């Protein structure tokens, strides 16, 4: 030991740490306590997640069981109304055609359902939290380090508490995706509201607007482009989490990629990966174009 540590005493050679027995007892105590709480409230946990399970299954059946050409047309209509750009619509049609031709339509619909549910939950939870952060400096000081931890934590780590509490299945996967994808929604909602021109807020005060009227009539409409950027980032992060979530039972393209990795199926892995990229590009271009349209509309109204 001394020869590998410049002849220094052992205390200076190895960083002082707790004895292994103490660490083992500490880990066992925390793990057993955590499992005990989960067992005690298992019925309540199942009841709380049942609506999410129903919503996810309903949307997945709707996407998978509906004839492909209806979903195909519906997606293009949504892209057109979001972007009003024929090039983006054409690119989306080519991406969807690529997915269908290579036999990945059903898996893509399963993934689309999961990402849609996760994104909606992230928006529903993230928007009010972002508004609270924008209204309170103290709340911002408390939540900023929490969001920093959430965004720097390795994505696989989210699966550990989720699996312990909720077990294996689609719902735990969606919950892990929501936790991973929600920080941009909160941050950009907070940023967008804080960046609203102070003169506009003063004008609203001068007209006697109360806080609720200022929020819904001034702050949220003017910060909508920034909030849409948060929605865009949330969708991208949800798609990035698809493969990790497949490890706890979420099907779709992520499951195929995971199986391809385990079995070294190069072609299947890349085709499913490209399908995920195609969906990401469609969502990204459509939401970015929608955000730019909102920005122009906001600037025109402000002028």
- Write the DSSP string, 28-73: HHHHHHHHHHHHHTHHHHHHHHHHHHHHHHHHHHHHHHS-HHHHHH
Comparing CA positions, the residue from 124, 259, 100 lying closest to residue 178 is 124
Confidence (pLDDT) at 299: 62
∠ CA 240-241-244, nearest 5°, is: 125
- Give the pLDDT band (50/70/90) at residue 163: confident
| Burial class for 170, CB neighbours closer than 10 Å (0-12, 13-18, 19+) | buried
To the nearest whole percent, how much of the chain has pLDDT over 90?
27
| pLDDT given at position 302 | 55
Distances (CA, A) of 111 to 265, 286, 293: 20, 18, 28
**Residue 99 predicted with pLDDT over 70:** yes
Residue 153 is predicted with a pLDDT of 83
Average pLDDT over residues 277-283: 89
The residue ranking higher by pLDDT, 281 or 294, is 281
From CA 218, how far away is CA 50, in angstroms rounded?
37
Q: Is the dihedral of CA 282, 288, 291, 297 positive or negative?
A: negative
Flag whether pLDDT at 9 surpasses 80: no
| Structural contact between residues 290 and 83, judged by C-beta atoms closer than 8 angstroms | yes
72-86, 202-216, 271-285: lowest mean pLDDT where? 202-216
Three-class secondary structure of residue 155 per DSSP: helix
pLDDT given at position 303? 55
User: What would the mean pLDDT of 259-283 be, rounded to a whole number?
Assistant: 87
| Residue with more model confidence, 159 or 61 | 61
Transcribe 183-210 into DSSP letters: HHHHHHHHHHHHTS-HHHHHHHHHTT--
| 237 Cβ neighbours under 8 A, 6+ residues apart | 180, 181, 184
The pLDDT of residue 247: 82
Residue 2 has pLDDT above 60, yes or no: no
pLDDT number for residue 1: 46
- Residues 53-63 have a mean pLDDT of 90
Chain centroid offset of residue 108 CA: 17
Percentage of the residues of the chain whose pLDDT score is greater than 70? 96
16 burial class (0-12, 13-18, 19+ CB within 10 angstroms)?
exposed
The token pair that represents 51 in the structure block? 């609506």
Closest CA to 62 of 116, 12, 24: 116
**Is residue 4 predicted with pLDDT exceeding 90?**
no
Q: Tally the C-alpha atoms within 13 A of residue 73's C-alpha that lie toward its C-beta.
A: 4
**pLDDT score of 90 more than 90:** yes
pLDDT in tens, 172-224: 888 888 988 999 999 999 999 998 888 888 888 888 888 888 888 888 888 88
């Amino acid at each position: 030991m001394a020869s590998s540590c410049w002849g220094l005493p052992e205390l200076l050679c190895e960083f002082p740490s707790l004895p292994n027995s103490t660490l083992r007892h500490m880990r066992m105590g925390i793990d057993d306590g955590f499992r005990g709480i989960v067992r005690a409230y298992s019925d309540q946990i199942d009841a709380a997640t049942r609506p999410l399970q129903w919503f996810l299954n309903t949307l997945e059946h709707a996407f998978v069981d509906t004839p492909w050409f209806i979903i195909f047309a519906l997606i293009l209509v949504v892209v057109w109304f979001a972007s009003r750009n024929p090039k983006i619509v054409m690119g989306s049609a080519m991406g969807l055609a690529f997915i269908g031709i290579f036999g990945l339509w059903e898996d893509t619909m399963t993934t689309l359902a999961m990402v849609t549910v996760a994104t909606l939950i992230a928006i529903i939870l993230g928007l009010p939290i972002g508004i609270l952060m924008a209204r309170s400096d103290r709340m911002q000081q408390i939540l900023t380090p929490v969001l920093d931890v959430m965004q720097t934590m390795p994505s696989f780590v989210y699966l550990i508490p989720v699996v312990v509490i909720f077990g294996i299945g689609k719902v735990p996967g969606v919950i892990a995706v929501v936790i991973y994808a929600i920080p941009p929604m909160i941050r950009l909602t907070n940023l967008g509201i804080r960046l609203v021109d102070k003169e506009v807020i003063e004008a609203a005060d001068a007209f006697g607007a109360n806080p609720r009227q200022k929020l819904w009539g001034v702050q949220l409409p003017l910060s909508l482009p920034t909030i849409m950027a948060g929605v865009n980032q949330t969708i991208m992060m949800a798609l990035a989490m698809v493969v990790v979530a497949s490890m706890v039972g979420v099907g779709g393209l992520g499951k195929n990629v995971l199986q391809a990795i385990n079995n070294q199926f190069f072609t299947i892995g890349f085709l499913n990966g490209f399908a995920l990229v195609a969906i990401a590009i469609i969502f990204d271009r459509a939401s970015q174009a929608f955000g730019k349209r909102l920005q122009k509309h906001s600037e025109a109204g402000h002028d």
